[in-house]
Structure 1
Amino acid sequence: MQPTTPAQQEIPVWKQEGAEPFLQIQGVTKKFGEFTAVDNVSLDIYKNELFCLLGGSGSGKSTLLRMLAGFENPTSGRILIDGVDMSGVEPWKRPVNMMFQSYALFPHLSVADNVAFGLKREGVARAEIKQRVGEMLEMVQLGHLGRRKPSQLSGGQRQRVALARALVKRPKLLLLDEPLGALDKKLREETQFELMNIQEELGVTFVVVTHDQEEAMTLATRIGVMNHGVIVQTDEPHDVYEYPSSRFVAEFIGSVNLFEGKVIEDKPDSVRIKSKEAGSTLFINHGISCSPDQIVHVAVRPEKIRLSHENPGQSDNCLSGVIEDIAYMGSLSLFRVKLASGKEVRITQPNFDRRIGERFTWDDKVFLHWDEESSVVLTS
C-alpha cells in the first residue's frame, strides 16, 4: 500500500483516485409488500467519514440505516462493510453499533453499568471493562457521573451516555438514528460540535440519519439527500446548498426563491432566461444542458438578494416590488416582497447595525438585485 502524501491528505478521500470505500451499498432495494421503501440505492462511504442521510418522513433513510445494522434484510442488492458482504450476517456479529433516538438506556442500571453492558455480554475481562468505560465516560465528559441513574441526568447527558455505550465496543461503523432529536435547540447546537470532536478523535465512521437540514449541514462531511426511497443528491454540505441538483433539493435544503422562465440565450459559459414571474431577464454565468426555449427554474437563496430604494441600473437580475412583511429575527431580518406578477420573494439581510428598521419598512417600493454567480438553473 502506497503511503498517503501531504497533497493527497488535503483532498477528501472520496475525491481521491483509487480510494477504497469502507461501506458499499450496491443496488439495495427494500420492499414491504407492494410498497418500496428503498429503491435501488447505491452509495459509497469512506473510512472516518461523518456521513448524513437527510430526508423527510417516509423518505427511506431509517429503513436504509436498519439494513446497515442488520435489523432488516434487503429485498435485493448487497451491503459490504470493510470489504465483507453482510448478507446473512446477524446484527450482533457485524462490526457495527447503533445509537437510537430514544437512547434505550436501562433505567435500573447506573451510567457506568449502562456503558459496560455490551462489554459484559461479550465476556470482556473486568479490569479491561473498567478501563474502557472510564476512558469513554471521560471522553463524553461524564466521568464524575458514573454512579448516577439515567433518571438523574439531563437530556444531553443521557444522549452522551448512549453515545459512550455505542462507542465503548469500538465498532468500525456507528449508526445514529436522529441522535439529537430529543434535545432543545441550544443543547442540540452544542452537542453537534461535541459529536464531531468525538468522531474525529476516535476515527470511527459515522452514518447519521436526520430530517434536520441544519444538523446535517453542521455535522456532515457529505450529505445524501433521500426522497421516496432514492438518494437524489450526494455532495458536501456546501455543494448541496449552493448547487442543488433539482427543485426538490433546492426547496428541501434551506429557503429558496424559484423563478420559472424560458431560455432565450444559451452559451457554453452562460445562460439568459426570460421570466414573467420575475418581470425581468435573469442571467447566470454558467452553462447548462438544455433544449432551445426550454422552461427551467432559476433558484436564488434569500441571503444572496440585495434590497435598495434606488434602481441599481443593471438590466439582468433586477426586480422591483413592494415590501409586504418584515420579520426581525435578531441576527437577521426577513423581508417578503411582492412583485408586480403577484409572486412573493423572500430576502434575508444580516443586522450589522441597529438601524435596519429605519432603512426599510412596510409598503416601501424596493429593488431586488443579485450577482450573476449567485443563482443556479434547475432543469428538473
Structure 2
Amino acid sequence: MTSTQNIEQQGVAPVSSEAAVNLPLWKQDGAEPFLQIENVTKNFGEFTAVDNISLDIYKNELFCLLGGSGSGKSTLLRMLAGFESPTSGRIIVDGVDMAAIPPWKRPINMMFQSYALFPHLSVEQNVAFGLKREGLHRAEVKQRVAQMLDMVQLGHLGKRKPNQLSGGQRQRVALARSLVKRPKLLLLDEPLGALDKKLREETQFELINIQEELGVTFVVVTHDQEEAMTLATRIGVMNHGVIVQTAEPHDVYEYPNSRFVAEFVGSVNLFEGRVIEDQPDSVRIKSKDAGGVLYVNHGISCAPNQKVHVALRPEKARISKQKPDQIENCIKGIVEEIAYMGSLSVYRVRLSSGKEVRITQPNITRGTGERLTWNDEVYLFWDVDSSVVLTS
C-alpha cells in the first residue's frame, strides 16, 4: 500500500454530488475517457520500447508523459499519431478504434520539436497549409488563420518568413498550424525544448491559456520535470517502456510511489533503513544513513524488519546551529558546500555516517538571521509529515 492509498483510506467524508461535479473527470465515477490506451506494446525486433501500457486520458486534459531518453514516451506518442503501429493492444480516441485509420484521417495533430515550418512560406501560409490541402474555401481559410494567429499573438507578423522570427515566435507558429485544423487531440513532442529557460517559462503559461481557451485535449512528451509540473493536469512518469506512476503533479512530487519517481522528479534525500515499528498510522525506521530513528506519520504495508527508504525533499527540512527540542527526525552534520541562488540557498551537509544531504532554504529576509558557513556543525530537523516511506 502506498502512502497516498493509506491517506485516502483514512476517515475522509464522502464527496457530495454537487462537489463531485466540480471534480476533474478522472476523479468522477463513471466518467468516460476521451483517449484509451489498452495494453499497448511496441517491439522493435527483440527490444520492447513500450511494454503493455494501459492509460485513460480525459477530455480537455493537458496530460504530460515524463521520462528520460529511451523511456518509450516518444514511441508511445508516435503510435497515438499513427506513425507507428502497436505490436499489440488498442488505441481508442473518442470511442473510435484507431487501428485501421491512417495518420492523415485521425482527429489528431502533432507538433514536432523541430517545428518543421516551411522556410519559403510566410507565417500565414504555414498556418494555412493544412486547411488548403483539405480544400476549404479561401474565405474560411483566411478567417481561421487570422483567428489562430491572433490567439497566439502573432497576427501582426503574418507576412514574415520563419527565418525572420525568434525561437519563441516560431514555436507559436507551429502551435497555430497544429491547432488551426481543430483536432480533437493535439500531441506535442518536447514542444519547448528549443527555447531558452526564461522564454520556456513564459511560453508554458501561454500554452496552458491556449489549451484552456480551445478546450482541446493535449498530450505532451517532455523530459523536463519542471515543465511537466507546470503544464500538466496529470503526469505519467515513464521508465523502460512502462508508466510507473500516474497522478496529479502535487501527488507525483509529494507522494512518489518508488525510489525511481522520487529521484527523477525533483531533488530528494533518501535514507535507507529497516522498519522497527509499524503502526496503522505511523512507522519508525532505524537508519544507519541518518544515524538514528526516523518517524513518519503514515502507515505502510511491509514485512517486519523490511528494508525501506525514507524520502525527504530538500526544502522540507530546516537547518540550524542550535539544537532543536525535538528528538526524532533530528540529525547532525557538517556544512561542506553552500550555494547562494538568490531566492534560496543550497547547503550540502555531511552526516557522521558519511552520507551527504542536500537542504534548501528560502532567503526570505535580507542579511539577517542565523548565518551558516563552511565547516559549521549543524542540526537538520523536519516534521513527521514531511517525509515519505518507499518500499520499492
Q: TM-score, normalised by structure 1?
A: 0.98
Residues 234 and 240 of structure 1 are in contact (CA less than 8 Å); yes or no, is this contact kept in structure 2? yes
- Is residue 363 of structure 1 aligned with residue 375 of structure 2? yes
User: What is the aligned partner in structure 2 of residue 256 from structure 1?
Assistant: 268
Choose which of 133, 137, 157 in structure 2 pairs with 1:125: 137
Q: 1:194 to 1:358 in 2, by over 3 A?
A: same
- Is it true that 1:80 corresponds to 2:92 in the alignment? yes
Structure 2 Cα separation of the partners of residues 357 and 31 of structure 1: 58
Residue 292 of structure 2 corresponds to 280
SS at match of 2:278: strand
1:238 corresponds to which of 238, 247, 250 = 250
Match of 1:227 in 2: 239
Measure how far apart 1:180 and its partner are. 0.1
Asked whether 1:90 is paired with 2:102, we answer: yes
List alignment gaps of at least 5 residues for structure 1: none
Q: Distance in 1 between matches of 2:110 and 2:369?
A: 49
Contact 1:31 1:37 in 2 (8 A): yes
Q: Distance in 1 between matches of 2:294 and 2:341?
A: 29
Counterpart residue number, 1:185? 197
Deviation at 1:10, TM superposition (A): 2.0
Note the C-alpha offset of 1:280. Answer: 1.5
SS in 2 for 1:102: coil
Output one character per residue of 1:132-162: Cα deviation in whole Å (capped at 9) or x when no partner: 0000000000000000000000000000000
- Counterpart of 2:299 in structure 1: which amino acid? G
Task: From 306, 312, 316, give the equivalent of 2:318.
Answer: 306
Deviation of the 1:88 alpha carbon? 2.1
Give the Å deviation of 1:355. Answer: 2.1
The partner residue of 1:214 within 214, 226, 229 is: 226
Per-residue CA shift, 1:105-124, capped at 9, x if unaligned? 00000000000000000001
Query: Which of residues 150, 160, 163 in structure 2 aligns to 1:151?
Result: 163
Q: Tell me whether 357-366 or 280-289 shows the greater mean CA deviation.
A: 357-366
CA positional deviation for 1:359 = 1.1
Which residue of structure 1 lines up, in the alignment, with residue 62 of structure 2?
Answer: 50
State whether residues 317 and 369 of structure 1, in contact with CA within 8 Å, keep that contact through their aligned partners in structure 2: yes
Amino acid at match of 2:343: S
Counterpart CA distance in 2 for 1:375 and 1:97 is: 41
- Please state how far the C-alpha of 1:311 moved relative to its aligned partner: 1.2
Partner of 1:317: 329
Instruction: Kindly state the Cα deviation for residue 262 of structure 1 after the two structures are TM-superposed.
Output: 0.6
Q: Give the letter for the 1:86 counterpart.
A: M
TM-superposed deviation, 1:89? 1.0
Distance 1:158 1:341 in 2: 52
Q: Structure 2-normalised TM-score? A: 0.95
TM-superposed CA distance for 1:358, in Å, is: 5.8
What's the offset of the Cα at 1:308?
1.1
Match of 1:172 among 184, 194, 209: 184
1:140 pairs with 127, 147, 152, which one? 152
1:357 shift after superposition: 9.0
SS of the residue corresponding to residue 359 of structure 1 reads: coil
Deviations 1:155-193 (A, max 9, x none): 000000000000000000000000000000000000000
Deviation string for 1:24-75 (max 9, x for gaps)? 0000000000000000000000000000000000000000000000000000
- Quote how far apart the aligned CAs of 1:6 are: 5.0
| Cα distance in 2 for residues equivalent to 1:362 and 1:27 | 53
Give me the whole-angstrom Cα distance separating, in 2, the residues matched to 1:125 and 1:317.
69
Is residue 2:15 matched to residue 1:15? no
Percent identical = 80
Q: How far apart are 1:9 and its partner, in Å?
A: 3.5
Contact kept, 8 Å, 1:281 with 1:315, in 2: the verdict is no
Kindly state the Cα deviation for residue 241 of structure 1 after the two structures are TM-superposed.
Answer: 0.1
* Structure 2 residue 357 is matched with structure 1 residue 345: yes
Query: Deviations along 1:277-309, whole A, 9 cap, x unmatched?
Result: 101110000000000000100000000010011
Q: Which amino acid aligns with 1:347?
A: I
How many equivalent residue pairs?
Answer: 376
C-alpha deviation, 1:353, in angstroms: 1.6
Structure 2 unmatched runs, 5+: 1-16
Tell me, in whole angstroms, the C-alpha distance in 1 between the residues paired with 2:56 and 2:331. 43
Equivalent residue for 1:203? 215
Describe the SS at the equivalent of 1:274. strand
RMSD: 0.9
Amino acid at match of 2:247: D
Amino acid at match of 2:313: R
Amino acid at match of 2:160: R
Q: Specify the SS of the correspondent of 2:148.
A: helix
User: What one-letter code is carried by the residue in structure 2 that aligns with 1:112?
Assistant: E
